[in-house]
Amino acid sequence: FSLGSTIESHTKGIWMWCLPHPRRAGHTLVLLDTEGLGDVKKGDTKNDAWIFALAVLLSSTLVYNSKGTIDQYAMEQLHFVSELTEHIKVKAQGGDDTEEDTEFVRFFPSFVWAVRDFTLELRIEGQLVTEDQYLEHALALRKGNNKKVMEYNLPRQCIRNFFPTRKCFVFVQPTSRQEMGQLDLLPTSALDPQFLDQTRRFCDYVFQCSHVKTVKGGIPVNGRRFGSLVQSYVGTIRSGQVPCLDNAVTAM
Protein backbone atom coordinates (compact mmCIF):
# COMPACT_ATOMS: atom_id res chain seq x y z
CA PHE A 1 0.00 0.00 0.00
CA SER A 2 1.16 3.52 -0.77
CA LEU A 3 -0.80 5.84 1.46
CA GLY A 4 -1.23 9.49 0.67
CA SER A 5 -3.00 12.00 2.88
CA THR A 6 -4.22 15.40 1.76
CA ILE A 7 -5.30 18.02 4.25
CA GLU A 8 -7.72 20.31 2.46
CA SER A 9 -9.35 23.59 3.45
CA HIS A 10 -12.92 22.79 2.39
CA THR A 11 -13.82 19.15 2.94
CA LYS A 12 -15.65 17.79 5.98
CA GLY A 13 -14.87 14.42 7.53
CA ILE A 14 -12.32 11.91 6.24
CA TRP A 15 -12.78 10.42 2.78
CA MET A 16 -10.89 7.48 1.32
CA TRP A 17 -10.40 6.31 -2.25
CA CYS A 18 -8.66 3.06 -3.19
CA LEU A 19 -7.47 2.37 -6.73
CA PRO A 20 -4.89 0.17 -8.44
CA HIS A 21 -1.51 1.88 -8.35
CA PRO A 22 -0.88 3.27 -11.86
CA ARG A 23 2.83 2.43 -11.78
CA ARG A 24 3.23 -0.56 -9.43
CA ALA A 25 1.59 -3.84 -10.33
CA GLY A 26 -0.05 -5.59 -7.40
CA HIS A 27 -0.18 -2.41 -5.29
CA THR A 28 -3.13 -0.28 -4.23
CA LEU A 29 -2.96 3.49 -3.97
CA VAL A 30 -5.01 4.79 -1.03
CA LEU A 31 -5.89 8.47 -0.93
CA LEU A 32 -7.08 9.94 2.37
CA ASP A 33 -8.72 13.36 2.20
CA THR A 34 -9.24 14.91 5.62
CA GLU A 35 -11.42 17.79 6.67
CA GLY A 36 -9.80 21.21 6.72
CA LEU A 37 -7.78 22.47 9.65
CA GLY A 38 -8.64 25.66 11.47
CA ASP A 39 -12.34 25.73 10.56
CA VAL A 40 -13.77 28.68 12.53
CA LYS A 41 -17.24 27.11 12.48
CA LYS A 42 -16.00 24.11 14.44
CA GLY A 43 -13.97 26.03 16.97
CA ASP A 44 -12.34 22.77 18.05
CA THR A 45 -8.55 22.80 17.79
CA LYS A 46 -8.30 19.47 19.63
CA ASN A 47 -10.26 17.82 16.83
CA ASP A 48 -7.88 19.35 14.27
CA ALA A 49 -4.84 18.15 16.17
CA TRP A 50 -6.15 14.57 16.30
CA ILE A 51 -7.02 14.59 12.60
CA PHE A 52 -3.53 15.79 11.77
CA ALA A 53 -1.97 13.13 14.00
CA LEU A 54 -4.16 10.42 12.45
CA ALA A 55 -3.17 11.53 8.94
CA VAL A 56 0.50 11.30 9.92
CA LEU A 57 0.04 7.83 11.42
CA LEU A 58 -1.72 6.38 8.38
CA SER A 59 0.26 7.97 5.55
CA SER A 60 3.51 7.32 3.76
CA THR A 61 3.23 10.68 1.96
CA LEU A 62 1.54 13.65 3.64
CA VAL A 63 0.38 16.45 1.34
CA TYR A 64 -0.39 19.75 3.04
CA ASN A 65 -1.92 22.37 0.80
CA SER A 66 -2.29 26.05 1.39
CA LYS A 67 -3.23 29.00 -0.77
CA GLY A 68 -1.23 31.97 -2.02
CA THR A 69 2.28 31.85 -0.58
CA ILE A 70 4.22 30.18 2.23
CA ASP A 71 4.10 33.11 4.63
CA GLN A 72 3.90 33.43 8.40
CA TYR A 73 0.14 32.94 8.40
CA ALA A 74 0.46 29.68 6.45
CA MET A 75 3.17 28.54 8.86
CA GLU A 76 1.04 29.37 11.91
CA GLN A 77 -1.77 27.22 10.48
CA LEU A 78 0.64 24.30 10.75
CA HIS A 79 1.09 24.72 14.50
CA PHE A 80 -0.36 21.20 14.87
CA VAL A 81 3.01 19.80 13.86
CA SER A 82 4.52 21.15 17.08
CA GLU A 83 1.95 19.13 19.08
CA LEU A 84 2.62 15.75 17.47
CA THR A 85 4.67 14.43 20.38
CA GLU A 86 1.63 15.06 22.60
CA HIS A 87 -0.63 13.02 20.32
CA ILE A 88 1.63 10.11 19.31
CA LYS A 89 3.81 7.84 21.41
CA VAL A 90 6.39 5.38 20.12
CA LYS A 91 6.75 3.20 23.21
CA ALA A 92 4.09 1.88 25.53
CA GLN A 93 5.85 3.06 28.68
CA GLY A 94 9.14 4.30 29.98
CA GLY A 95 12.08 5.29 27.82
CA ASP A 96 14.02 8.48 27.27
CA ASP A 97 11.76 11.25 25.86
CA THR A 98 14.63 12.69 23.83
CA GLU A 99 15.42 9.28 22.38
CA GLU A 100 11.74 8.73 21.64
CA ASP A 101 11.47 12.02 19.77
CA THR A 102 14.28 10.96 17.44
CA GLU A 103 12.36 7.77 16.60
CA PHE A 104 9.46 9.72 15.11
CA VAL A 105 11.25 10.36 11.84
CA ARG A 106 11.59 6.61 11.27
CA PHE A 107 7.87 6.18 10.66
CA PHE A 108 6.68 9.68 9.76
CA PRO A 109 5.61 10.17 6.14
CA SER A 110 7.45 12.27 3.61
CA PHE A 111 6.08 15.82 3.52
CA VAL A 112 4.81 17.66 0.44
CA TRP A 113 3.72 21.29 0.63
CA ALA A 114 1.39 22.18 -2.26
CA VAL A 115 0.79 25.91 -2.71
CA ARG A 116 -2.36 26.66 -4.71
CA ASP A 117 -3.09 29.86 -6.67
CA PHE A 118 0.57 30.84 -6.47
CA THR A 119 1.05 34.31 -7.97
CA LEU A 120 4.67 35.18 -7.16
CA GLU A 121 7.84 34.55 -9.09
CA LEU A 122 10.11 31.90 -7.60
CA ARG A 123 12.81 34.38 -6.65
CA ILE A 124 14.79 34.95 -3.47
CA GLU A 125 16.75 38.19 -3.32
CA GLY A 126 16.36 38.54 -7.07
CA GLN A 127 17.65 35.05 -7.87
CA LEU A 128 15.50 32.40 -9.51
CA VAL A 129 15.04 29.37 -7.23
CA THR A 130 13.36 25.98 -7.43
CA GLU A 131 10.17 25.15 -5.56
CA ASP A 132 12.16 23.10 -3.04
CA GLN A 133 14.55 26.00 -2.44
CA TYR A 134 11.53 28.26 -1.91
CA LEU A 135 10.24 25.88 0.77
CA GLU A 136 13.60 25.56 2.52
CA HIS A 137 13.96 29.35 2.55
CA ALA A 138 10.53 29.59 4.20
CA LEU A 139 11.67 27.04 6.81
CA ALA A 140 14.90 28.90 7.63
CA LEU A 141 15.31 29.64 11.34
CA ARG A 142 15.97 33.04 12.87
CA LYS A 143 18.79 33.63 15.30
CA GLY A 144 18.05 34.60 18.87
CA ASN A 145 16.27 33.18 21.91
CA ASN A 146 13.64 35.76 22.77
CA LYS A 147 9.98 34.77 22.85
CA LYS A 148 9.13 36.20 19.44
CA VAL A 149 11.98 34.37 17.72
CA MET A 150 11.16 31.11 19.50
CA GLU A 151 7.51 31.32 18.42
CA TYR A 152 8.63 32.02 14.85
CA ASN A 153 11.06 29.09 14.82
CA LEU A 154 8.90 26.45 16.56
CA PRO A 155 6.74 25.20 13.64
CA ARG A 156 9.70 25.46 11.26
CA GLN A 157 11.97 23.48 13.57
CA CYS A 158 9.32 20.79 14.03
CA ILE A 159 8.79 20.40 10.27
CA ARG A 160 12.55 20.16 9.77
CA ASN A 161 12.92 17.57 12.56
CA PHE A 162 9.86 15.40 11.91
CA PHE A 163 9.88 15.51 8.10
CA PRO A 164 13.45 15.23 6.83
CA THR A 165 12.10 14.30 3.38
CA ARG A 166 10.38 17.42 2.06
CA LYS A 167 9.09 18.54 -1.33
CA CYS A 168 7.26 21.61 -2.61
CA PHE A 169 4.98 22.20 -5.58
CA VAL A 170 3.37 25.50 -6.58
CA PHE A 171 0.26 25.73 -8.76
CA VAL A 172 -1.06 28.71 -10.67
CA GLN A 173 -4.81 29.28 -10.64
CA PRO A 174 -6.28 26.59 -12.95
CA THR A 175 -8.60 28.95 -14.81
CA SER A 176 -10.04 32.45 -14.72
CA ARG A 177 -11.71 33.76 -11.59
CA GLN A 178 -15.09 33.77 -13.36
CA GLU A 179 -14.84 30.05 -14.14
CA MET A 180 -13.52 28.87 -10.78
CA GLY A 181 -17.04 28.28 -9.48
CA GLN A 182 -17.68 25.63 -12.12
CA LEU A 183 -14.23 24.08 -12.15
CA ASP A 184 -15.50 20.50 -11.88
CA LEU A 185 -17.56 20.98 -15.06
CA LEU A 186 -14.77 22.33 -17.26
CA PRO A 187 -12.96 20.10 -19.78
CA THR A 188 -9.23 19.67 -19.37
CA SER A 189 -8.68 21.79 -22.48
CA ALA A 190 -10.15 24.80 -20.63
CA LEU A 191 -7.52 24.69 -17.89
CA ASP A 192 -4.32 26.72 -17.85
CA PRO A 193 -1.52 24.72 -19.58
CA GLN A 194 0.93 25.74 -16.85
CA PHE A 195 -1.42 24.37 -14.20
CA LEU A 196 -1.74 21.10 -16.12
CA ASP A 197 2.04 20.78 -16.35
CA GLN A 198 2.42 21.47 -12.61
CA THR A 199 -0.26 18.88 -11.83
CA ARG A 200 1.46 16.30 -14.01
CA ARG A 201 4.78 16.84 -12.20
CA PHE A 202 3.04 16.57 -8.84
CA CYS A 203 1.31 13.29 -9.76
CA ASP A 204 4.52 11.88 -11.22
CA TYR A 205 6.28 12.57 -7.94
CA VAL A 206 3.56 10.93 -5.84
CA PHE A 207 3.35 7.86 -8.09
CA GLN A 208 7.12 7.46 -8.32
CA CYS A 209 8.36 8.49 -4.88
CA SER A 210 5.60 7.53 -2.42
CA HIS A 211 6.93 4.52 -0.57
CA VAL A 212 4.96 1.49 0.51
CA LYS A 213 3.54 2.23 3.96
CA THR A 214 5.38 0.42 6.76
CA VAL A 215 5.05 0.48 10.52
CA LYS A 216 7.58 0.10 13.30
CA GLY A 217 9.77 -2.90 12.64
CA GLY A 218 9.60 -2.40 8.87
CA ILE A 219 6.33 -4.33 8.53
CA PRO A 220 4.61 -3.50 5.21
CA VAL A 221 0.94 -2.53 5.45
CA ASN A 222 -1.57 -4.48 3.34
CA GLY A 223 -5.35 -4.05 3.30
CA ARG A 224 -6.10 -6.12 6.39
CA ARG A 225 -3.31 -4.49 8.38
CA PHE A 226 -4.45 -1.04 7.31
CA GLY A 227 -7.96 -1.77 8.59
CA SER A 228 -6.50 -2.99 11.87
CA LEU A 229 -4.40 0.16 12.26
CA VAL A 230 -7.36 2.45 11.59
CA GLN A 231 -9.48 0.65 14.20
CA SER A 232 -6.65 0.68 16.73
CA TYR A 233 -5.77 4.36 16.33
CA VAL A 234 -9.35 5.64 16.19
CA GLY A 235 -10.38 3.49 19.15
CA THR A 236 -7.47 4.79 21.21
CA ILE A 237 -8.24 8.42 20.34
CA ARG A 238 -11.94 8.01 21.15
CA SER A 239 -11.03 6.54 24.53
CA GLY A 240 -9.11 9.71 25.38
CA GLN A 241 -5.68 8.09 25.25
CA VAL A 242 -2.65 8.74 23.06
CA PRO A 243 -2.02 6.33 20.15
CA CYS A 244 1.08 4.20 20.73
CA LEU A 245 2.96 2.61 17.85
CA ASP A 246 4.10 -0.38 19.88
CA ASN A 247 0.54 -1.17 20.98
CA ALA A 248 -0.90 -0.68 17.47
CA VAL A 249 1.69 -2.98 15.87
CA THR A 250 1.16 -5.62 18.57
CA ALA A 251 -2.60 -5.50 18.08
CA MET A 252 -2.20 -5.66 14.30
pLDDT 10s per residue in the chain (252 long)?
Answer: 344 555 443 334 678 889 999 999 999 999 998 877 655 555 566 778 888 888 888 999 999 989 999 988 888 888 778 888 788 877 766 555 545 555 667 778 999 999 999 988 899 998 999 999 999 999 999 999 999 999 999 999 989 988 989 999 999 999 988 888 888 888 898 999 999 999 999 999 999 998 899 887 788 999 999 999 988 888 888 888 888 877 887 777
Residue 157: which of 69, 81, 231 has the closest Cα? 81
* Res 5: pLDDT: 52
* Res 74: pLDDT: 86
* Res 12: pLDDT: 46
- 3-class SS string, the chain: CEEEEEECCCCCCEEEEEEECCCCCCCEEEEEEECCCCCCCCCCHHHHHHHHHHHHHHCCEEEEEEECCCCHHHHHCCHHHHHHHHHCECCCCCCCHHHHHHHHHHCCCEEEEEEECCCCCCEECCEECCHHHHHHHHCCCCCCCCHHHHHHHHHHHHHHHHCCCEEEEECCCCCCHHHHHHHHHCCHHHCCHHHHHHHHHHHHHHHHHCCCCEECCCEECCHHHHHHHHHHHHHHHHCCCCCEHHHHHHHC
Which domains, and CATH codes, for the chain? Answer: 2-251 (3.40.50.300)
